[in-house]
Amino acid sequence: TETETRSHRADKQQNGDAMSETSTVEDVFDDTYKEKEGPKPPRMLVWRNIILMTLLHTGALYGLIVIPCASALTLAWTAVCYLISALGVTAGAHRLWSHRSYKASFPLRVFLALANSMAFQNDVYEWARDHRVHHKYSETDADPHNATRGFFFAHIGWLLVRKHPDVIEKGKKLELADLRADKVVMFQRRHYKLSVLILCFLVPTLVPWYFWGESLAVAYFVPGLLRYAVVLNATWLVNSAAHIWGNRPYDKTINPRENPMVAFSAIGEGFHNYHHTFPFDYATSEFGWKFNITTAFIDLMCFLGLAKDCKKVSKELIMARIQRTGDGSDKSG
Ligand code: ST9
Ligand code: ZN
Ligand code: ZN
């Protein structure tokens, strides 16, 4: 693997081939931004979202209760749907499109966009835009899920209120040309609602019903709503738990932390002190495949020739960083 430093951000990438990248990625923390003085803007509740999220979580709870009625095949299908939708977020929206930490061929991008619609977490363009402001203005008013506003806000609260104006102001200044140039991303954005209806709700429900005679109700509540709600909460735990609990072996001056439990449920995305320190690393972790199905998946895609140019931080750079800014919790440091 190649040694990467932040200087690669400055390198202009070439355009043209199927795996091209068009611009530098704005995911590096900007310490020049200062929150505005004076009173904070009032919190404006979005009742539509509050009602929908309540209904979803009630449905998911019902799904939990009817698990004993589900056939073994339906449970296996639930796990498959979990994995596919999770990869659409981790390998797709996060590591590929938000951070450009590797390059993906057209067929892989199509798969990741479909998987991403199955996860129904906003389209890739919106997800990556919010995520880049999250890294650049982490723990400030311009961070969409600013964890200094507490666990609940960072977890789900931020989706139930209007955004802080600074999120939008700063977000509008971000360079997103690489996303606009990706036809797969723009196609998914254009057809987002229909793709979600089909991939997040119809396919998970109809497959068990059609192929092995599962009842429509069980199929809707278990691989449908329960699976969707669990993937959402596993994702949100990265913003809440992994910004609050855990060690900071790489940079003790920032809030994000190493949280193995979150890494496990989020198929590799809980090594969050590492990730905010080295956001361009395709593995989002120092430790390869450990609790990290996503990294194994990307490695498999490289092996199959569907992905390439994985960016990785060298061991020397990691060790130097641990010595310089770590909290001393890293066993090797
Ligand atoms: C969901 C997303 O759950 C989860 C993301 C989690 C991120 C995790 C990151 C952690 C690391 C990776 C870990 C992965 C782990 C995966 C594990 C898997 C097992 N920049 O938004 P609006 C502008 S979604 C620039 O309406 P309001 C823009 O012009 C769940 N501009 O703001 C926009 O217009 P347009 C399902 C921005 O009115 C306009 O403002 N979805 C930016 O304040 C208005 O934007 C939902 O629940 C920006 N950043 O409303 C829906 N932002 O659209 C949730 C905005 O044309 N969303 N603009 O671009 C909403 O309903 C609303 O956004 C709102 C705010 C009510 C929250
Ligand atoms: Zn974070
Ligand atoms: Zn990230």
Please classify residue 108 by burial: count the beta carbons closer than 10 Å to its beta carbon, then call 0-12 exposed, 13-18 middle and 19+ buried: buried
CA-CA-CA-CA torsion sign (108, 109, 113, 114) = negative
Nearest CA owner, ligand 1 atom 50: 162
Regarding the beta carbon of 90 and ligand 1, being less than 6 Å apart is answered yes
Element (H, E) at 308: strand 307-308
Regarding the beta carbon of 257 and ligand 1, being less than 6 Å apart is answered no
| Cα distance between residue 148 and residue 135, in whole Å | 14
Please classify residue 132 by burial: count the beta carbons closer than 10 Å to its beta carbon, then call 0-12 exposed, 13-18 middle and 19+ buried: buried
DSSP sequence for 49-65: HHHHHHHHHHHHHHHHH
Q: Could you tell me the pTM of the whole model? A: 0.93
CA 115-257-41 angle, to 5 degrees, is 80
Regarding the beta carbon of 148 and ligand 1, being less than 6 Å apart is answered no
- 122 C-alpha vs ligand 1 centroid, how far in Å? 6
φ, ψ dihedrals at 174, nearest 5°: -70, 150
Distant-in-sequence, close-in-space partners of 173: CB < 8 Å, separation ≥ 6? none
Do 125 and 186 contact (CB within 8 A), yes or no? yes
| Cα distance between residue 153 and residue 151, in whole Å | 6
Regarding the beta carbon of 98 and ligand 1, being less than 6 Å apart is answered no
Among 54, 135, 235, name the best residue to mutate to test ligand 1's pocket (greatest count of ligand atoms within 8 A of Cβ): 235
Question: Residue ranges of the chain with pLDDT lower than 50?
Answer: 1-23, 333
pLDDT for 22 equals 40
Regarding the beta carbon of 172 and ligand 1, being less than 6 Å apart is answered yes
| Cα distance between residue 333 and residue 318, in whole Å | 9
Tell me the ligand closest to 229's alpha carbon.
1
Which residue's entry shows tokens 């709503």? 225
CA distances from 329 to 249, 251, 314, 322 (A): 5, 11, 19, 9
pLDDT for 24 equals 67
- 314 C-alpha vs ligand 2 centroid, how far in Å? 22
Partner residues linked to 250 by β-bridges: none
Nearest CA owner, ligand 1 atom 26: 162
Do 273 and 254 contact (CB within 8 A), yes or no? yes
Do 261 and 268 contact (CB within 8 A), yes or no? no
Regarding the beta carbon of 86 and ligand 1, being less than 6 Å apart is answered yes
| Cα distance between residue 311 and residue 313, in whole Å | 7
- 134 C-alpha vs ligand 2 centroid, how far in Å? 7
DSSP sequence for 64-125: HHTGGGS-HHHHHHHHHHHHHHHHIIIIIIIIIIIT--SEE-HHHHHHHHHHHHHH-SS-HH
Regarding the beta carbon of 52 and ligand 1, being less than 6 Å apart is answered no
80: its two tokens: 């498959």
pLDDT for 109 equals 98
How far does CA 80 lie from the centroid of its chain? Answer: 18
Which ranges in 124-202 belong to alpha helices (H)?
A: 124-136, 151-155, 165-172, 177-180, 183-190, 192-196
pLDDT for 32 equals 85
pLDDT for 332 equals 56
